Amino acid sequence: MAKKRPQTKAGKQQLKDGEIPVVGAREPCPCGSGRRYKACHGRAAAQAVTELVQRPFEGLAGECDWVALRELVPAATAGLALKGGLPEGVPSVTLATVLPMAWPALRRDDGSVLLALQNDTSSGDLSRDLADTLSRALEAEPGTPVAARRVPADGPRLQDLLDTEAPFEPVVHSGFEFWVPDSENATAEVSASLERANEAAIPTALLSGVDAAYWCETPEKNHLRWVMPHAEEQLLDALARLHAAGESSLGEGTRLVGSFRAHGLMVPVWDLPSPMGADDCEKPAAAFAERLAKALASDAPLTAEERRARGGLTNRQVTLS
């Protein structure tokens, strides 16, 4: 026979929902219900932590570049501006794609903070995870890394901590020497991590004439991966119109081959011939941006040929996150 759950005694002071502390999943819930925490108030907390936020960077300046640095770019940094300015003793806060030994963040000896973007996170809200790491890094002792941890479900998000009006300006690096001010005097562990990272990095460059378009070089061919802010269905229609009209390429020997879906945004991808470098992409990309703007403005129904082109683009779409 199943045991009856003990009843809460009448007149016992009850905690309000906002006052329920986090305890072990199998411990009695502090609200006094007699149930285990995981079956009571812990259920809502667990759901809040695991629920996926489709666009974690929405509302931040440079959302498309945040997505690119999270998913596509090996080595890059960007300065971050905090609401209300930097705390005393923190000369700068810098976002980095990755840090040595996969540290979530690092408080340098001079008090400056490096925040890593490409680490695994504990919840479904990447913005909340990063904000928690950033908050702890700002308070960490100089010269120490910040460890990963389970993030509170009601903690702040990046949108709460960062100045969303400040420009977001990524700088793409050829390697990871930005990890340490003096790489020659780095520890053996950091030096080994730096060497491995540099060997694995794919040469990448950010185009200057259009937003969030990144050229990269691979052994067989080069690629252009362009994070776009437009609504997915509208963008697919526009790309289909251009593809059906033979206007979706970036010039001779190039081809629109599909797209990624990452953090709620689409990332069209072009194959490029090996001799085509980043500088060679500038004019064709700017011309494509003009064609795309016209296609996005059209509200005419898709033709049969355009629908076939759209279906092909959809079939070649890969979800990264």
Minimum mean pLDDT range among 119-123, 168-172, 214-218, 229-233: 119-123
pLDDT band at 21 (very low <50, low <70, confident <90, very high): low
Q: Which residues, 6 or more positions from 310, have their beta carbon under 8 angstroms from its beta carbon? A: 236, 237, 239, 240, 302
Q: How far is CA 205 from CA 15, 175, 188, 273, in A?
A: 54, 12, 29, 16
pLDDT at 38: 59
Reported as half-sphere exposure (CB side, CA atoms, 13 A), residue 243 has a value of 25
Using the structure block, give the residue that is written with the tokens 């690629």: 223
pLDDT at 114: 98
Q: Is the pLDDT of residue 95 over 80?
A: yes
**DSSP strand E in 28-157: where?**
76-79, 93-96, 105-107, 113-116, 144-146
Rounded to an integer, the average pLDDT of 251-268 is 96
Please, what is the Cα angle at 166 between 228 and 61, to 5 degrees?
20
Q: Which residue has the higher pLDDT, 170 or 151?
A: 170
Residue 246 zone, left/alpha/beta (φ > 0; ψ -120 to 50; rest): left
pLDDT at 197: 86
Using the structure block, give the residue that is written with the tokens 């963040």: 105
Contact 320, 71 (CB under 8 A): yes
Give the amino acid at 309.
A
Rounded to an integer, the average pLDDT of 277-286 is 98
**Residue 66: Cβ within 10 Å count:** 27
Q: Is the pLDDT of residue 13 over 60?
A: no
The conformation of residue 58, written as its DSSP 8-state character, comes to: T
The percentage of the chain sitting over the pLDDT mark of 70, rounded to a whole number, equals: 86
pLDDT at 180: 81
pLDDT at 44: 52
Mean pLDDT of the chain: 88
Minimum mean pLDDT range among 90-104, 134-148, 261-275, 307-321: 307-321
Q: Is the pLDDT of residue 1 over 70?
A: no
pLDDT band at 26 (very low <50, low <70, confident <90, very high): low
Rounded to an integer, the average pLDDT of 276-304 is 98
Minimum mean pLDDT range among 37-41, 115-119, 152-156, 309-313: 37-41
Q: Is the pLDDT of residue 11 over 60?
A: no
Q: Is the pLDDT of residue 186 over 80?
A: no
How would you label 263-301 residue by residue, b for 16+ Cβ within 10 Å and e otherwise?
A: bbbbbbbbbbeeebebebbbebbeebeeebeebbeeeee
User: Helical H runs in 72-154?
Assistant: 126-139
Q: Is the pLDDT of residue 10 over 80?
A: no
Rounded to an integer, the average pLDDT of 214-235 is 96
pLDDT at 2: 40
